Structure 1
Amino acid sequence: IIFVVSPELTDSVNVRLVKGNNPCAGRVEVLHEGQWGTVCDDDWDIADAAVVCRELDCGTAVKATYQAQFGQGLGQIWMANVACSGSESTLKNCTSRRWGVSNCDHREDAGVICSGKLRLVDGFHLCSGRVEMLRTEGWGSVCDAVFDQQDAEVVCRQLDCGAPVQVLGAAAFGKGKGRVWSEEIQCRGSESQIDIFLHCLNKLSLVCPGYTDLRLVNGSDSCSGRVELQFLNDSGTVCDACWDMRAASVLCRQLNCGIAVSVVGSDWFGKGSGEIWADVFDCDGNETKLSECSISSWSRAESSHSRDVGVICSGRGSIRLVGSGGDCAGRLEVFHSGSWGTVCDDSWDIKDAHVVCRQLQCGVALSNQQVPAWFGHGSGPIWLDEVECEGNETSLWSCSSPGWGKHDCQHKEDVGVVCSGSEE
């Protein structure tokens, strides 16, 4: 039941952020009846985060976080289904369920990342742009005199943007409007927030980790391949220790390639060259762009292109049915190590066929083609044999098999699949 919380019930309520790396980021906790408790992330969004940041005098909301990103709280879950318009001055003025009523547990604790007194604007992602600072007179640009790498580390840390990549002066992201603050920023590099004093002159721009372009390369199409990210004029690969299925899901969504099917190593799409980006992407999995993910740390994994990560999205590029004249029936072929190859029909059954049809968005399997090479003999490698699926997997890559290229078959045993047709 949703209702507007009355002032009589909530005058004593305070809000705090805990377990973040600065006072303007962390798990949201509210004080009610003398006890601190958490907020459930059901319906939690950037408008709710904006109210918390404003109430705490922490600038603007950078991100609303979910699923206990800042750790699980203890005690009561005081608020759930919070629905702020974004203009409220305090969280207690937003609608929500009654105090202490929810169907949540602490794995769903909501969090907030605020800009604090700082923000980066007019950049090509959330972690780059012209540095602006909030004061009582409003937002104004920060000057670049005597601003160094240590100062940049504090700015990037405060914005939950990892370690700085580049400090740019001369208003690289535009001249901005309004005031230019005349203080100099001086940091040792270990602070959680900026200390300000002295004097400065020119406007400052800063780039924290973040990327200007991204792509999947060396796959069969643009929806599978080795992950390559471009930062300004430099392209590079990503180490496998920095990546997981949540980051892959965001990448596939950004590339309009459906959902993430698998995260694979360099044996799939080969070793890259150039830079190896070592920042660890901390994605919830529901972001629309990779640039919206926090960068939690820098990986200390071995910097070698033998660790280059690849991603396979649900786009049809990594698996296909050929030989029937249509997309939803034919000889099964899979793409691996730069080559299309076939699948042997040893142990193949209707459950395996169902998984193929699901992955291709072709409905369900109508029949299991037991006649060897029903759709003709393939050529090239026989990549898989003795495939065993449960039938509920989202992709063939989740099914067990002896391994790539391990078989005792010939192409006269190439398996075929007939699906019911497109699900669209």
Structure 2
Amino acid sequence: MAALYFMLVIATSFIGKGASLSCYQCKGITDPSTCTVTSACPAGESCFVERRLDSDLREFYNMGCEKRLICDVLGGGLRKRNSRPEPEVNRVTRDVTLCNKCCLTDNCNAELCYDREVSPTTGVSASSDLYVRLFGGENAYEGSVQVYFNDHWGSICDHNWTGYDASVVCRMLGYKSDGAGALAGGSFQNAPQGTRIWLEDVNCTGSEVSLFSCPHGPWGIHDCDHGNDAGVMCPAVFPEDDIIFLLDVGSGGLIHRMNLESQSYVPIPINILYRPSSFDYDPSLGRIYFTDPRLHQIVSMNFDGTAARSIRQLDTNSALEKVEVDPLNRLLFYTDDGNNLIASMNLDGTGYKQLITANLDNPREIVLDPRSKTMYWSDWGANPKIEAASYDGTNRRTLLDTGLMWPNGLAIDYESNKLYFVDGGLGTIETMTLQGGSRREILKDVGSHFFAIDVFGNYLYYTDWNRRTLMRVNKDGTSKTQVGPPSFRELADLRIHKYGSDLPGVTTPAPVHFDPSHVFVRLNGLGFANEGRVEVYANGQWGTVCDDHWDNNDANVVCGMLGFDRVNAQATNQSRQGMGGGLISMDEVNCIGTESHIVECGFGVTNWANHDCGHDEDAGVICATSGGHNNFVVFADSYTGLLVRMDLGAYSFTSIGQPNSPNPVAITYDPSDQRIYFTEVTSQFSEIRSSDVLGKDIRVIGTQQNGSIFDGLAIDQARDILFYTDAGKKTVMSMSPNGGNVRTVASAVDQPRALAVDKNAGIVYWTDWGQNPKIEKANYDGTNRQTLATSRLKYPNGIAVDVTTQKIYFCDGGTHLIEVMDTDGSNRKIIYNDYGAHFFGLTLTSRYIYYSDWNRSGLMRLNRDGSNLFNAGPPSFTKINAIFAYEAGFS
């Protein structure tokens, strides 16, 4: 150790004098030891050597001068604080090659680059030089295929691209290969201009472990463009196992799902609203929890990126550092560098507790031991340390407070009961017991900036801000190697998941992520709202159903999920309502007709997407509608122009197609005649229309072309009065549902938006988001007009009234709040806060609040007290405006 220290001091002094080095300078040589040409490097640069592969997979070497971060480290140029800057999404960083080393001695770049060290044969395979990833898909299971070769990503031409090729790609990504679909060019977003096209004429048999074992044309030789980029669609239902989750804050907070064996990966698409900075994974329910410092939120989402929702909104002083989940005790912990505290809550956000609030300087990482209910955390403040305490904050103790600079990542090895930790300032990986004893250095790398660490088997996986890839080292410090391609910018967090690898004896059983409560059906294709091609949604992906043995019993189950009659449904086959595309999710469906859900008809992970048919055999239904229509929510999807009718039990849905529907906004429902009323708003005209629930009878009942803007609707069916707001004319109006008897209820309303009515008292309520935002009410005839709220409002949008409790619920797209107050404006309080939301529509049932959010693609549900946020149905919409729920006996 003394000799190493002496050498580093000499090197530091050497750089400090501004002297330059003399390095070997050769390009394209096959053996670095044969290089004889040397030249001086510019000041601040050092010697490097890199290994590359040509199109025939032959090695060659480049040698020369390069400015390296390690030289800045030894010269004192490292960042002074161990802080994470705001991600620069378009930041340009140097392209790290397959092998790249530098040093500070003249001519030192000869023979420094060797093959990667091989890990023990009993462990996980070491890195490859060839990988695949998916690009441009709407979910984590689909996209254009890109291959990593010769230090560059490139696409594959779709010439002769088949399902056999797709199955191999899906296998490399760790997905199920059976049922994989091959998609031609143009199915997904094209690769950026300048991206290479590496392969064409790939010809797999489907049994290969790697795409690169398949016959294919020469690397880089092709006769196609990116409009021909080959794509795949992998089945979304399978056991989630052998996963490395990676978070790249340098790319704006992207979370990637990497296969542990092949190191091929896919980005997990999430709402662009979010920029995660840290995360953890709950394998028992397959959900990822992450922090978003910009929104001051802790967010939960499915492992595929769907159903993202805020579980805790924190104050604006918070600076979220790390979140950690205890899946056994169903708890979540986080560190807050802004308020200098550690807190916990239940996984749904309830039960919030601040545990440690004193003597914290800059808390960063936190890890948990569910067996003893102990938390461990690092603090990189003025007096850096590693501490521990019980889950309730008691029994606090310092494990280590010497020989630390910027203690970052922590990881517990539950097999050996050891704690591993990294120091970003000292460039060390160390270990000690869970009691703080037997401290030992594992690895020292002065050119690194270690940040996160995880333990898996005999390995330590870690992230290094000075490298563009994940790193791995044996627990004894040997065989350091990169994991996956050098394709990232700044990896801030990682989590390795393999069932049975953690918490021996108490690990949750391996789940199959096939939860019927998150599997939905919809009707698509030709026909009215009670008929169409059946499509099934699971884990972020829609697929069709093969018509083999498809009969009326199967149709009855589907129709029941849609809120139609559970009897007398007709099954259709051979794509009678039109052919679908993409995945075929089900085949050989065998319902007896009494099931409440189609997955109860013999479906699970083993037979999902297994089929022997094409889309010319897509199954469909025609649902019977003799009964009433109860317990559903209707809303307008303005970008598609569709009215959606969603069942409030199964959250499956059907759409009511409208001719010439440019921008549906407001919506309500009259149960007496089972008609939906909605508005269309354009720059040329505003219109009020009416439709039966099947879309068979569509009528225009009022049109204004002189500046009217119909933003809100409400109906009192007993009095036969339809109310609407006109933001263009600054009025609240009423008329009969057939368009006659038009009257002004209130004038001089700056920007009236949503409406709600108290049918018992004959009172209409509205929101006004004008220059002086307010909430008002008046009698039906306009008398007794009153202002109920003026403070803490910016863009008050949706409003609903519960006539039983005499409560008004409303949401504000500017303050990001959902609130409640009495109908006289008293007892006002905040129910829910989401800094990332743009609330628009709001409606009530006897138990829930439903709302729309322009920043989300789905319908959201809350308990009346603001707890238990839930995605009602799939996130499959574009921009939901107003919503209205009808529940028999309540609405």
TM-score (norm 1): 0.36
Larger CA Rg, structure 1 vs 2: 2
Q: Considering Cα pairs closer than 8 Å and 6+ residues apart, tell me whether 1 or 2 has the greater RCO.
A: 1
TM-score (norm 2): 0.20
Structure showing the higher helix proportion among its residues: 1
